[in-house]
Amino acid sequence: MKKITTTDALEAFCLEAAKRPYVTVDTEFLRERTYYSQLCLVQLAYQDENGADAALVDPLAEGLSLEPLYTLFRDHGCVKVFHAARQDLEIFYVDAGVIPEPLFDTQVAAMVCGFGEQAGYETLVRKIAKADLDKSSRFTDWSRRPLTEAQATYALADVTHLRDIYEYLSARLAKSGRIKWVAEEMAVLEDPATYQSDPDDAWKRVKTRTSSGKFLAIVRELARFRETYAQTRNVPRSRVYKDDALVELASTKPQTEQDLGRSRLLLREARKGEIAEGILASIKAGLAVKPEDMPKVDDSRTKMQVNPALADMLRVLLKAKTDDAEVAPKLIASSGDLDALAAGERDVVALKGWRREVFGNDALMLCEGKVGLAVKGQKVVTVAL
């Protein structure tokens, strides 16, 4: 195991890793006090017939550049293997606009291979690598130096066992012919849009109990200001103001800093200065929005006329099909997707790509009354009508 603190050492390791068919990758980071994750450690490991090696890369070391790592990420001859990759990939995309390709996420692969929904790394280590993990260092402060031996051991385990997990899952996928299934899922993780947070769309994440256009116009302006402020100053959204305070502001529509002082939920720091000015300007802008430009909630699904009996049958069918295919049901369709199908909606993910093969075709025939469900032994099967 190498501890890398210089660019030259990182380049040497990455050049060797690039010669291998794959490299496993993980990160340790902090995000409690910032908008963007602070990268504190990168773990790398590879293995082939000639041997194995692993490294802990210290991105906080003075003078170290991650460019050799990004060069490796751009190398299409070496698969980059992660577990639950989304947050790791967001770090690299924000830092350098780089998304590793080709990419393999063992959590997604495990769901395709029948290990259940959101299969945890610890579970896969136990079931596939036949090992136990020491999780005592999981919530330590990864920005502090020097790292303890316990931290180093914990971090290293996140990529060394990952080699065994990747080799097992990739072999199982090749045998079952499901490699293309995982490839379809990787397309989402490889899409830059997955990691871009547009302030103009921030209001859609705020839960409200009204669909009033005027109210939502103020919510949109307040959410846009908060997102922009948090991004430019790299502070958490909640440090600007929380969602409940945002909704309160949209309801009470304060006009002055004195009005802000009466808020029950607004943080003290937000009642004056730049944040207060931004709040008041956002409320003013929201009130000035013309009716035709006001945001609208997509309530198409809430207005759907769901056939509850058909929705229940679709749930039974989904369970039967995913049991047969040994695939996590959540990966095929959500409860909302099943309700949409039962209401006549056809633009759902369950009817696309590999999901259609496993579930979608039979689901459509069930919806159209072409097949029914029957019990055969211990299984639920479709029968032609």
What residues does each domain of the chain span?
2-195, 199-293, 308-384
The CATH number of the domain covering residues in 308-384? 1.10.150
Burial 138-150 (b: 16+ CB within 10 A, else e): eeeebeeeebeee
CATH topology of domain 2-195: Nucleotidyltransferase; domain 5 (3.30.420)
- Residue reference for tokens 């070391």: 61
Torsions phi, psi of 288, nearest 5? -90, -5
Please tell me whether residue 112 adopts helix, strand or coil conformation: helix
Query: How far out from the chain centre does Cα 126 lie?
Result: 24
Q: What is the pLDDT of residue 45?
A: 97
CATH topology of domain 199-293: DNA polymerase; domain 1 (1.10.150)
**Encoding tokens for residue 178?**
């499901």
Residues forming beta bridges with residue 57, ordered by sequence position: 4, 42
Residues forming beta bridges with residue 30, ordered by sequence position: 38
Q: What is the pLDDT of residue 308?
A: 92
Mean pLDDT by 10 residues, the chain (385 residues): 95 96 97 95 88 92 98 98 97 97 96 88 94 86 95 95 96 94 93 95 93 95 98 96 97 96 93 97 98 82 78 96 93 93 94 95 96 93 93
pTM assigned to the model:
0.88
Q: What is the pLDDT of residue 122?
A: 93
**Encoding tokens for residue 237?**
């959204």
Q: What is the pLDDT of residue 288?
A: 97
- CA dist., res. 26 & res. 3, Å (int): 15
**Encoding tokens for residue 377?**
């032994």
- CA dist., res. 223 & res. 237, Å (int): 9
Terminal CA-CA length for the chain = 63
Q: What is the pLDDT of residue 302?
A: 55
Domains 199-293 and 308-384 share a fold: yes
Please give the sequence-ordered ranges of beta strands (E in DSSP) within the chain, or none if there are none. 2-4, 22-30, 38-48, 51-57, 79-82, 103-105, 371-376, 379-384
Which residue type is seen at 375?
A: V
Which residue type is seen at 182?
A: V
